[in-house]
Amino acid sequence: MRETVFKKIDELYEEMVEIRRYLHQHPEPSFQEEKTAQFIVDKYEQWGIPYQKNIGGFGVVATLKGGKPGKTVALRADFDALPIQDEKEVPYKSKVPGVMHACGHDGHTATLLCLAKVLLENQSDLEGTVVFLHQPAEEYAPGGAKPMINDGALNGVDAVFGTHLWVTAPVGILQTTKGPFMAGADRFEITIKGKGGHGAIPHETKDAIVIASQLVTQLQQIVSRRIDPLKTAVVSVGTFNAGQAFNIIADKATLTGTVRMFDPTIQETIINEIEKIVKSVCIPYDADYDLNYLKGYPPVINHKEEAEIILDGCRNVPGIEGTEEIKPVMPGEDFAYYLLEKPGAFYFTGAHKEGHDYPHHHPKFDFDERAMPLGAKTLFQAYQLYQEKNK
């Protein structure tokens, strides 16, 4: 059966590309993916695969029960886009101003849809049940995974696997790790409330820009001077907004940033340190502040046995040239929520496009579409090996 499925996946490559490119031209941002969800539903309607829609928002859960007894394995693909203008010149360039698939979620969706179509043709030979999780809103916390879980998407599921097309890895390479794989991802917003005035009379003001500038510098000392050097953490300020004119001292300044970590105790230390630093910087200037700290996705922590299925069991998949156990990476992923509920693993499928060295979330982002059938094959391999190991 395995060889039959692999062969059929390869035969569906053109359809996979067609689906991906259609979605790439018609992206929808997080929490607004109504038409994308309907596109997915229409495919399952066409193929006659049972599904549920509007799970945790625009989520779609399709189910394929095999002809043989076995476990229930969920496979996940996200389908939201980003608020970024597509700047690459390709026939499938986004047709929606200011929105594009800059992270590969269009490819994830095409991969999982075509895998579902292939497995339908082999339903009688399948063991157990395959659950296809089509998830909205991965890009922005609180994300789409947790609402789908709350709506019962994992009910009856024994294990869950997911992959991300990864443009920093070559096509044919899989990357993951046993244990912590991707960081927890929080964000914060700090608003300094000073007193504005004329730029020529600074002594009568409370300069919000000066105060906020000191904050930017001191926040960088949290990791270097408050966190154990053997621990991993990131505190980065991403935006600094203040001022209206060259000769006016600003009365307000707003900073936003992100925090990344793997250890919950490190997270609490950072939260406390941010609060202390903001307070201590504002007091000498008699300035007020608002601090809004949003705990985002927890770390993606793979389960050992399921990660070994990817690292060891997927080496023999046609087209896979190797698997790599890599160090944890700092981007976040709400796949973490699935792994808090069920055994499973998340992994990267190499998708680097030769001569196109733009990272994820870049306006010219693109990936090598030959990675999609490899993603489908390895997801199937993970499902099948899990069945074999848990009979």
Quick one: which of 83, 82, 97, 96 has its CA closest to 26? 96
What's the order of all strands across the beta sheet hosting 288-297? 233-242, 252-261, 184-193, 288-297
Give the pLDDT mean for 243-252: 97
Q: Which domains does the chain have, with CATH numbers?
A: 2-181+299-389 (3.40.630.10), 184-297 (3.30.70.360)
Token code pair at residue 264: 């919950």
For residues 190 and 215, the answer to whether their CB atoms sit within 8 Å is yes
Give the residue numbers annotated as catalytic, written as ranges: 80, 138
Q: What are the start-end ranges of the H helices in the chain? A: 2-11, 13-25, 34-47, 105-121, 145-150, 208-219, 221-226, 264-282, 304-313, 336-341, 371-389
Residue range 248-263: average pLDDT?
97
SS3 224: helix
Summarised one tens digit per residue, pLDDT across range 38-59 is: 999 999 999 999 999 999 999 9
Question: Which residue type, as a one-letter code, is found at position 128?
Answer: G
* pLDDT over 90 (residue 172): yes
Q: What is the pLDDT of residues 57-102, one digit of tens each?
A: 999 999 999 999 999 999 999 999 999 999 999 999 999 999 999 9
- Within 10 angstroms of residue 41's Cβ, the number of other Cβ atoms is 18
pLDDT in tens, 206-217: 999 999 999 999
pLDDT at 199: 97
Per-residue pLDDT reduced to its tens digit, 337-379: 999 999 999 999 999 999 999 999 999 999 999 999 999 999 9
Which pLDDT does position 74 carry in this prediction? 98
Distance between CA atoms of residues 319 and 349, nearest Å:
11
Question: How do residues 268-319 score in pLDDT, each as one tens digit?
Answer: 999 999 999 999 999 999 999 999 999 999 999 999 999 999 999 999 999 9
Confidence of residue 1 (pLDDT cuts 50, 70, 90): confident
Extract the annotated binding site.
103, 105, 139, 164, 361
pTM of whole model > 0.75? yes
**Residue ranges of the binding site for Mn(2+):** 103, 105, 139, 164, 361
- Nearest Cα neighbor of 109 from 9, 58, 36 is 36
pLDDT of 135 above 90: yes
Would you say residue 12 has pLDDT above 90?
yes
What is the 8-class DSSP label of residue 361? T
